[in-house]
Amino acid sequence: HGTSRINARGHLEIGGCDTVELAQRYGTPLYIMDEALIREKMRAFVDAFQDTGLAFRVAYASKAFSTLAMCRIVDEEGLMLDVVSEGELYTALSAGFPAERIYFHGNNKTPQELEFALDEGIYLFVVDNFDELMLLEHIAKEKEKRARIILRITPGVEAYTHKYIQTGKEDSKFGFGLDSGQALEGVRQALECTHLDLMGFHCHIGSQIFETEAFQLTIAKMGQFIKTCYERYGLVTRIFNTGGGFGIRYHKDDAPKEARDYVQAIAEAVRKYLHDLPVLPEIWIEPGRYIVGEAGTTLYTIGAIKEVPGIRKYVSIDGGMSDNLRPALYQAKYEAMLANRAQESATETVTIAGKACEEGDILIWDLKLPQVKQGDILAVNCTGAYNFSMANNYNRVRRPAVLFVKDGQAEVVVERETLQDVIARDRIPARLAPKKA
């Protein structure tokens, strides 16, 4: 996918760069991001929405992958930016991302985070619960400012990868429950706040969703609610954010839809269920994974190979759950290939083991590869979302570098951590006997 291809040397090439050369030059593990593919995915949503004729905004969910360079691309493409912490907000602002295109999510924004965002003049806050409503109203009043808000609603629809369910129970840490009546009470209270402007609603029903029906069902339920808010309180809903969650193909068994299919399904449901409102709200979406997931590839160097006779061959790589937590955390499945022998056909089945001191650190079970040798470069596909952003220093492993590749140019957008970085925040209490030099 994207700009990936096999070059004349039989190497995997991405963005016009030979990945084997990148591994030699920058070391492994190494995250590579295909910039053209990121931009293509963003434009696919925007173009599809333009064709619907609806008023819309496309946002990018920072949590999937946030760095200064990424924020610059989001800015250049004109998308909104969803942040969920002061760290993501700070990253965006440091990249020069305009505050008026940023909005703030999260179920427990701290007073400090709310103040920071309010001072910076972000576009809006997605208020998650009653406590936050009161806190934001209080902070805005103290600062003699106004804040735009939308309420996060838990619509009682939950989507999983291959199916969706409509749940009666609203057992989620996020949002105002729709079916329990919390949502309507939230609206009532929000309208009483003198320093908050209620612009509309948000809901997010899950991640890595393949079916469009789950989104349509949500829009149907929310359409009813939006009507009730109008009839009961005269509230004109200006913004309806239907969340993110659009699935991607990690594995050959995955069957996601195209951006256009998701957008068309949303537009169809909006027309069907919201048509009799005085004003059609602006429709927002906030994908993360769909935009960056397939654009990412992680390169590793193959090290120790261990055969358990008659059972399994373990092939160890120089990374693992510290740079890709998803297999250990969610049993996520990935596909991979040898970047340096991309043309050779598979002859053996191996298990790719990470280097963390944990039996559970297995990146891929039963992967078919050509006869593997130490020093081969393994390229794992679809590692652009929730990989770098969930990377950690378990075992005091250094986090890898991130490269953007495009038109034959590779740029480091995050430097590899150094050994000095590993101990940079450690302090030795003075009462411990000093070490003689």
By CB under 6 A, which span of 36-44, 270-278, 280-288, 415-423 interacts with ligand LLP?
Answer: 280-288
Q: Which amino acid is at 413?
A: V
Residues that bind ligand LLP (rule: CB under 6 A) add up to a total of: 20
286 binds ligand LLP (CB under 6 A): yes
Q: How far apart are the first and last CA of the chain?
A: 55
Q: How far apart are CA 89 and CA 62, in angstroms?
A: 9
By CB under 6 A, which span of 58-66, 223-231, 310-318, 394-402 interacts with ligand LLP?
Answer: 58-66
* Chain residues 88-147 in contact with ligand LLP, contact rule CB under 6 A: 105
- Taking alpha carbons only, the member of 261, 254, 179 closest to residue 221 is 179
265 binds ligand LLP (CB under 6 A): no
Question: Which CB atom, from 326 or from 341, has the smaller least distance to ligand LLP?
Answer: 326
Q: Name the minimum Å distance from CB 199 to ligand LLP.
A: 16
What count of other Cβ atoms lies within 10 Å of the Cβ of residue 308? 9
Joined tokens for residue 149: 């808000």
Backbone angles phi, psi at 376, to 5 degrees: -65, 155
Question: Which CB atom, from 45 or from 273, has the smaller least distance to ligand LLP?
Answer: 45
Q: Name the minimum Å distance from CB 106 to ligand LLP.
A: 9
Q: 303 a known binding residue?
A: no
- Evaluate whether 342 touches 11 at the Cβ level (below 8 Å): yes
294 binds ligand LLP (CB under 6 A): no
Q: 289 a known binding residue?
A: yes
Joined tokens for residue 57: 């905004």
Q: Which residues contact 220 (CB under 8 A, 6 or more apart)?
A: 269, 272, 273
- Evaluate whether 106 touches 84 at the Cβ level (below 8 Å): yes
Q: Which of 71, 229, 357, 382 is catalytic?
A: 357
Question: Which CB atom, from 26 or from 250, has the smaller least distance to ligand LLP?
Answer: 250
229 tagged catalytic: no
221 binds ligand LLP (CB under 6 A): no
- Evaluate whether 358 touches 328 at the Cβ level (below 8 Å): yes
Question: Which CB atom, from 26 or from 225, has the smaller least distance to ligand LLP?
Answer: 225
- Taking alpha carbons only, the member of 290, 292, 212 closest to residue 247 is 290
243 binds ligand LLP (CB under 6 A): yes
Q: Name the minimum Å distance from CB 341 to ligand LLP.
A: 29
By CB under 6 A, which span of 13-21, 36-44, 60-68, 295-303 interacts with ligand LLP?
Answer: 60-68
Q: Mark 313-352 with x for binding to ligand LLP (rule: CB under 6 A) and - for no binding.
A: -------------x---x----------------------
What does DSSP assign to residue 155?
A: -
210 binds ligand LLP (CB under 6 A): no
Provide the residue count of the chain. 437
Question: Which CB atom, from 195 or from 289, has the smaller least distance to ligand LLP?
Answer: 289
E strand spans, 259-406: 282-285, 296-308, 312-317, 336-338, 348-353, 362-369, 377-381, 401-406
Q: 26 a known binding residue?
A: no
Which of 204, 221, 341, 406 touches ligand LLP (CB under 6 A)? 204
Q: Name the minimum Å distance from CB 291 to ligand LLP.
A: 8
Phi and psi based region of residue 163 (left: phi greater than 0; alpha: psi -120 to 50; beta: remaining): beta
Given CA atoms 123, 108, 209, 169 in this order, what sign does their dihedral have? negative
Phi and psi based region of residue 212 (left: phi greater than 0; alpha: psi -120 to 50; beta: remaining): alpha
Question: Which CB atom, from 273 or from 386, has the smaller least distance to ligand LLP?
Answer: 386
Joined tokens for residue 409: 């140019």
Q: 287 a known binding residue?
A: yes
Q: Name the minimum Å distance from CB 274 to ligand LLP.
A: 20
Question: Which CB atom, from 221 or from 326, has the smaller least distance to ligand LLP?
Answer: 326
Question: Which CB atom, from 19 or from 241, has the smaller least distance to ligand LLP?
Answer: 241
Joined tokens for residue 60: 């990018």
Residue 18, strand partner residues: 13
* Chain residues 381-420 in contact with ligand LLP, contact rule CB under 6 A: 385-386
CA 419 to chain CA centroid, Å, is 28
SS3 at position 254: coil
Residues making up the annotated binding site for substrate are 289, 326, 330, 358, 386
Residues making up the annotated binding site for pyridoxal 5'-phosphate are 245, 286-289, 386
Site residues (vs ligand LLP, CB under 6 A): 61, 63-64, 105, 204, 207-208, 243-246, 286-290, 326, 330, 385-386
Residues making up the annotated binding site are 245, 286-289, 326, 330, 358, 386
Catalytic residue numbers?
Answer: 357
